[in-house]
Amino acid sequence: MNRKTAEFTVTIPVEGDEPLRGKFKINVKLSYREMLAMDAMRRQLLGPLSGEADGMAALIASAVAKIRTHAIDTPSWWKEAGNGIDFDDMTVVLTVLEEIQKVEKTHLEEIQKAAEKAAEALKDL
């Protein structure tokens, strides 16, 4: 299976420290197996009563699970922080998550444009 991947670079300001800079390589689209693994990871991070987690805990778990599932290669500082879970600054995780969402949005827009082009071609038949 030929997977579409993407890379992006982030620079994240960190209060009282040097900015975090690095390149992430991700799978653009997840398989069903990966989507299920992402949800299992989210629930594992939240514990046995995952449905009762507060909003912030649910946000952190969802964001970290999504990033971990999409990631193919990450900067050393990300790995050293437990693949995102050991940060105490939500800006770091949310910035990486936002970049993944931008890649996903661009991918969906490309699919939509191709579908529109194909629909136009069918009209000419």
pLDDT in tens, the chain (125 residues): 678 999 999 999 988 889 999 999 999 999 999 999 999 999 999 988 777 888 889 999 999 999 999 999 999 999 999 999 999 989 999 999 999 999 999 999 999 998 998 888 888 77
Question: What's residue 1's pLDDT?
Answer: 61
Whole-number pLDDT of residue 84 = 93
Torsions phi, psi of 13, nearest 5? -65, 140
Coil, strand or helix at 2 = coil
d(CA 38, CA 40): 5
CA distances from 29 to 32, 92, 106 (A): 10, 22, 11
Distance CA 72, CA 47 (A): 25
Q: What is the pLDDT of residue 52?
A: 81
Q: What is the DSSP letter of 42?
A: H
